[in-house]
Amino acid sequence: MKRGFAALSLGGLALAQEAHRVAITHPGGSYNQEVAFLYPWVYFFSFLVFLVVAGALAYVVLKFRAKPGQEGEPPQIHGNDRLEVVWTLIPLAIILILFGLTAKALIQVNRPIPGSLKVEVTGYQFWWDFNYPELGFRNSNELILPAGVPVELEITSKDVIHSFWVPGLAGKRDAIPGQKTLLHFTPKEPGNYYGFCAELCGPSHSRMLFRVVVLPKEEFDRFVEAAKAPQPPWPTSGASRSSSRTAPPATAWPGACPLRSSDPSLGFSETAPAWRQASWRTPRKTSRPGSRTPPP
């Protein structure tokens, strides 16, 4: 019993350490920072309205409750026109303030940032493809970004509607077949951020997970050099090939939480050997139910 409780406690602590990576309140990027600016205003006005309404209700209930021995209806009055105008104008002013702040934030987060790193994001059932056209390589289920550098994600889908969402960095964007949606933000803090497909897209929707790894600029530059470097030859025998697939991935960053991304296992497809590129295009019995892979 004690061991079970200790194991649960350790598991809870481990999850708590990474909880901020999937929280919309975590300002890990410029997008969330703009949105987080709205929270104090919303909380303040919500508390103010609650305080006024609850206080007025308590006052009326206590002040005008029926007295012992009182009979018949109390005096009927029309009301107070001045008071009614005031309690109409005050909520209107609150709404206008929140509308202005929200509009400012929406304009800011949707404004293109000059010098952005472009990444083409494509959703498949049930995985994500990340292509860096300016850098000349691609990766799957793991988006690597430099800290402090603005990013422009061009999001689309090849099968059904998906929704790209990294709560710790930015808001949702739909991935729609035949259309492209843009997401602009600047990742601020290095670390691992976890993303999901936020649109029901099939039987393995809940397993359509991915990770965003934000690296310091120097480490990102080294990563790009390694990704674009010629890869060593891979074994051609079946036994060696199977053992090679069980090796740790090249992008196993320190402190990363393993994802259940069994389909596909891509790595750097532009520089990977031909047999490895073909292997992730071939559906496997152990892959996610209903998974689709692009044609070779």
Contact call for residues 187 and 169 (beta carbons, < 8 A): yes
221 contact partners, CB below 8 Å, separation of at least 6: 146
* Distance from C-alpha of 162 to C-alpha of 95, rounded to nearest angstrom: 33
261 assigned to some structural domain:
yes
Q: What pLDDT, on a 0 to 100 scale, did the predictor assign at position 97? A: 95
Domain that holds residue 157: 18-63+80-245+252-296
In a domain, 6, yes or no: no
Residue 122 in any domain: the answer is: yes
- Which of 60-74, 83-97, 149-163 is predicted with the least confidence, judged by mean pLDDT? 60-74
At residue 277's C-alpha, the angle toward residues 273 and 279, to 5°, is: 115
Q: Is-contact 139 267, C-beta < 8 A?
A: yes
In a domain, 56, yes or no: yes
Structural domain includes residue 271 = yes
> CB–CB of 49/94 below 8 Å?
yes
User: Six-digit token pair at 288?
Assistant: 């996610």
Report if residue 178 sits inside a domain.
Answer: yes
Band (pLDDT 50/70/90 cuts) for residue 235 is: low
Contact 20, 257 (CB under 8 A): no
Res 28: pLDDT? 78
pLDDT at 289: 64
Element (H, E) at 112: none
**Is there a contact between 209 and 196 (Cβ–Cβ < 8 Å)?**
yes
User: What mean pLDDT is predicted for residues 145-151?
Assistant: 92
Q: At 49, which CATH number?
A: 2.60.40.420
Q: Cα–Cα distance between 155 and 123 in angstroms, integer?
A: 8
Q: Is residue 157 part of a domain?
A: yes
User: How many Å apart are CA 30 and CA 157, to the nearest integer?
Assistant: 25
For every residue of 165-209, DSSP letters joined together read: E-TTT---EEE-BT--EEEEE-B-S-EEEEEEE-S--STTGGG-E
- The count of domains in the chain is 1
pTM over 0.75: no
pLDDT at 59: 93
pLDDT the model gives residue 4: 56
Q: What is the pLDDT of residue 21?
A: 57
| pLDDT of 293 | 56
Mean pLDDT rounded to a whole number for the chain: 76
- What lies within 8 Å, CB to CB, of 258 at 6+ separation is none
**pLDDT higher for 224 or 267?**
224
Residue at 182: amino acid letter = L
CA separation for the pair 181, 175 (Å, rounded): 7
| Residue 8 covered by a domain | no
